Structure 1
Amino acid sequence: MKINITGVTGFVGQNLSKYLTNKGFIVNGLSLRTAWSFSENTDAVIHLAGKAHDTENISTTEEYFKVNRDLTIQLFNEFLTSNVTDFFYFSSVKAVADSLDQVLDENYPSNPKTPYGKSKWEAESYLLSKSLPAGKRLFIIRPCMIHGPGNKGNLNLLYKIVKKGIPWPLASFENKRSFLSIDNLNFLIFEMLKNKSLASGVYNFADDQSLSTNELISVISAALNKKPKLWKISRSFIEKVAVLGGKIKLPLNSERLKKLTESYEVSNQKIKATLEIQKLPLKAEEGLTKTIESFKNNKI
């Protein structure tokens, strides 16, 4: 089977292309920066390229829509008139919601708030509005936070806190968050590619278990052979400090406190039920430990 992957040089692209190549697939990178066309006899296109969420808020709104929406539309329109059978679009759970009041499944109503989430949602909406020619399939993948060896995301920040021996002062806040190991992501895409009876649709990707930030601190501490330092300071006191921090520009303010302590759980039941699998290869703690061990080896 021949696969074209956009964004093949990124973290997910590098890992997925290596995984599929080892499984016997022929994988070609597809750059959207210059004139492009699908490789001859391509069976599937996996569209990973996109403008990632910018936590520093220096990207313009136009950048998100130009890359995440407009390039996706261009690529999908080419797919519709090509001989390629399957189109995988990597969207995001943030195309649905930036915060949650329940576990996120595929029926949760979309109401993104950021340019990143809105651009992903508008791309999804366009793809889903088009009629697919006979024999073609469309898969919209909504992953939660992806991690793995070589990844330099938000886990690095917590890792550095634990490594320096700094106590986690927000242990009185209990939350649950979903993660996605690159190994589980690779496994799911491979199973989808193999399954020719799989129906088009939207599918959430997440590990089987969700973890609290306190549990995550404990996983990192164990990988570093340290005892977790969890300070259970009064929630009301922390919340008052955060309010004050917003007024006098402290590192901790109410918005940052919410981001650090809120829950964001994602259900993967639909994709597992559709593929008839009971559980993913790696448990959430195993995947996170593997990622943290890579930080140690790279002396991050």
Structure 2
Amino acid sequence: MRVLVTGSSGFVGSRLLKVLANKKNVKVFAAAHRESIDCPVTVRILKNFELSSSVDWTPNLIGMDVIVHAAARVHVMNDQALDPLEAFREVNVNGALKLAEQAASAGVRRFVFISSIKVNGESTTTNDTYSPEAEPAPLDPYGVSKMEAELGLKAIAERTGMEVVIIRPVLVYGPGVKANFLKMMQWLDKGVPLPFGAIRNSRSLVALDNLVDLIALCTEHPAAANQTFLVSDGEDLSTSELLRRMARALDKPARLIPVPVWILRLGARLLGKSDLSQRLCGSLRVDISKTREILGWKPVVSVDSALKEAATHFKESRKQ
């Protein structure tokens, strides 16, 4: 089986390359925008990959069996684009659909699309969960672009017969994680007192190894064809509990002050950080029963072991 991975230098794509390269009877190709990427020597690199509606990648797609499309314009804070939605659409919708059209024409059998839970929405109650069949309700340009790409890919699948598999991850963490997750590790490592000791929300997360294991399974499992899957660690945590367990992984004390949530939300609103307060204080839970039942999949690493690996990488990176 010949598998092409886009976004191969990214957080998810780079780990996926290593997993696929260890599989028997799998030849792995990495679509890379940069001249060099860190990947196993057995992986063949296709250079100068650009995700755009104007690029013809057909010659590179002939002979491929599966494409894992992890490349995207990612969700960023304080987006400076004049029209963020159009900027996301050019890459995440137009570029993805052009690649899928070319893949179908080249005879690619399956297209695995890494989408986002933001297609479902931004939050649930502590008792509700998102499911793959729930009505999409994206609230930001990134989520809208992923939803539009999903719809376009399903139409291509119906018209061409190429199988499409859609995976919507929740927040992904692991070695080398960036953004808010990294900031939390930095705060804990420095022993900074944090006002998050009274948060009783419930959020689904997914360890990098769990996500990559599911992606690898979806490249070959017959029952994955034309399905949409949600993925998580199968254990939902409050922000307070996550910080405590992350601190334990770092071998640091968790200095959490039990500030009432309404005060945190009010302060965030006054500072123009309502989105951040929603991620810290709000709930977002997903139901992965479909993923388990159809694919026979289960998380391969526990939350604590994944946090320990992330913490170890974090501590080693500080020494460099």
Runs of 5+ consecutive residues of structure 2 not aligned to the other structure = 32-48
1:14 correspondence with 2:38: no
Which of 81, 87, 93 matches 1:69? 93
1:269 correspondence with 2:270: no
Match of 2:309 in 1: 290
Please give the per-residue CA displacement for 1:151-171, whole angstroms capped at 9, x wherever unaligned. 223211111111111122122
Q: Distance in 1 between matches of 2:243 and 2:57?
A: 44
Please give the per-residue CA displacement for 1:210-257, whole angstroms capped at 9, x wherever unaligned. 1111111112211222222121123444455445xx1xxx4x755532
TM-score, with structure 2 as normaliser: 0.85
Q: Secondary structure at the match of 1:154?
A: helix
Q: Secondary structure at the match of 2:204?
A: strand
Q: Distance in 2 between matches of 1:254 and 1:123?
A: 28
Please give the per-residue CA displacement for 1:7-60, whole angstroms capped at 9, x wherever unaligned. 111121111011101113211123235542334421101111110001122233
Match of 1:26 in 2: 27
1:187 correspondence with 2:213: yes
Which of 279, 284, 287 matches 1:259? 279
Q: Distance in 1 between matches of 2:264 and 2:141?
A: 30
Q: Distance in 2 between matches of 1:83 and 1:254?
A: 46
Name the amino acid aligned to 2:50: L
Q: Judging changes above 3 Å, is the alpha-carbon distance between structure 1 residues 42 and 254 closer, same or farther for their aligned structure 2 residues?
A: closer
Name the amino acid aligned to 2:70: L
Residue identity (%): 28
Match of 1:148 in 2: 174
Match of 2:79 in 1: 57
Which of 120, 132, 141 matches 1:96? 120
Q: Distance in 2 between matches of 1:39 and 1:77?
A: 11
Runs of 5+ consecutive residues of structure 1 not aligned to the other structure = none
After TM superposition, the structure 1 = structure 2 runs for residues 221-236 of structure 1, keeping only pairs within 5 Å, are 221-236=247-262
Q: Judging changes above 3 Å, is the alpha-carbon distance between structure 1 residues 238 and 29 closer, same or farther for their aligned structure 2 residues?
A: closer
Q: Is the 8 A contact 1:105 1:267 kept in 2?
A: yes
Q: Is the 8 A contact 2:3 2:27 kept in 1?
A: yes
Q: Is the 8 A contact 2:201 2:239 kept in 1?
A: yes
Q: Which runs of 4+ in 1 moved over 3 A?
A: 234-243, 252-256
TM-score, with structure 1 as normaliser: 0.90
Q: Distance in 2 between matches of 1:239 and 1:88?
A: 38
Q: Is the 8 A contact 1:210 1:284 kept in 2?
A: no
1:120 correspondence with 2:121: no
Identify which range, 42-51 or 18-27, moves more after superposition.
Answer: 18-27
Q: Distance in 1 between matches of 2:154 and 2:129?
A: 23
Name the amino acid aligned to 1:233: V
